[in-house]
Copies of this chain bind each other. A is one copy, B any other.
Amino acid sequence: MAAHRSPPALGSATIATIAREVGVSAATVSKVLNGRSDVAAGTRARVEASLERHRYRRRARRPTGPGQIDLVFHEFGSDWALEIIRGVETVAAAEQVNLVLSQLGGARRPPPSWLERVIARRPLGIVLVMCNLTEPQRQQLRRQAVPVVVVDTDSASAASVPTVGSNNWNGGLIATRHLLELGHRRIAIISGPPDVWCARARTAGFRGAHEEFAVPVDPDLVRTGNFHLDAGYQQGMELLAAPNRPTAVFAGSDLQAMGVLRAARQLGLDVPADLSVVGYDNLPLSAWSGPALTTVNQPLRDMAGAATKMLFDLVRGVALPTSRIDLVAELVVRESTGPPRRP
């Protein structure tokens, strides 16, 4: 009986091995491998268990000829997405590999239909942005020898997936420290959605800088947004119209910062004389806003490029020295910050 035989070396199993062990046809094993839905649930479970036991993998391929990689966004958000597309495209073009672009309409996990379509094409690899896979999806792709990397703008990915990110906590820290060093003591933060990790990390950095300077944080000044212009504007209007308004705002993203600039203009506040504003991301446009934004450079293009290089290493079977790289976030001081007015 199969169970009594000593198992073959891990990873050396073929479809025939699996079919024999489970007692189904090779065609059935193929269907399971290809994510097809026309296999009975019980059979599928037995085949999957056998595939995992043997660590079944399709043979990896070299990126020759018109290969493709997939770049998957949870959604396209402004300039921000374009910076990442540019970073990935540059590396893919140098490898003479095509770039297949898609977005999940805001979802954080690709739907089952997505995986079926991907497996039918079998790209060389996949770059994910602001989204991730379920463990079964990851297993499926592993068996197909389709490596996955994550451009993690979110500080949220499981360590098991090779990831390039940037240090959001540090970014929040240096942005806030800059304002504290200028003499600000009432500093607001408008961070991203509370369920997004990078937003939490930046807020934690904001608190860290306050601790460093022994300045208490007023809970009224800690706000959240959606990283877009409208949230910066709305929170900015609330914060700046209040009687005890802050003298500085760390806006959590360049787009939110532009929303705050708009609120300040509408209320007749001069930036930076009446209000200092710090953004995050250093989008190309941030140098051109009125006034030019002081911001934290999140090296999106470099992050995307580094993740794509990682992906090609995986495609070639090169072992990665580490499964996570964080690039450095740096402060870029422009015109939107200055010392507070003397009271």
Chain A residues with CB under 8 Å of chain B are: 65-66, 68, 71, 76, 78-79, 81-82, 85-86, 89, 93, 96, 98-103, 105, 117, 120-121, 229, 233, 255, 258-259, 261-262, 265, 284-285, 288-292
Q: Would B117 and A102 count as touching, CB distance under 8 A?
A: no
Minimum CB distance partner of A284 in chain B: B78
Bound CA–CA A98/B86 (angstroms): 19
In the complex, which of the residues B65, B102, B261 contacts A93, with contact meaning CB atoms closer than 8 Å?
B102
Bound CA–CA A93/B111 (angstroms): 13
Across the interface, which residues of B come within 8 angstroms of A291, CB to CB? 265
Bound CA–CA A96/B117 (angstroms): 9
The answer to whether A288 and B258 touch (CB under 8 A), given A66-B120, A120-B66, is yes
Nearest chain B CB to A81 CB, angstrom units: 6
Minimum CB distance partner of A82 in chain B: B82
Nearest chain B CB to A111 CB, angstrom units: 12
Nearest chain B CB to A67 CB, angstrom units: 10
Q: Would A82 and B89 count as touching, CB distance under 8 A?
A: no
Across the interface, which residues of B come within 8 angstroms of A99, CB to CB? 100-102
Across the interface, which residues of B come within 8 angstroms of A79, CB to CB? 78-79, 82, 285
Across the interface, which residues of B come within 8 angstroms of A258, CB to CB? 285, 288-289
Across the interface, which residues of B come within 8 angstroms of A103, CB to CB? 89, 93
Minimum CB distance partner of A120 in chain B: B66
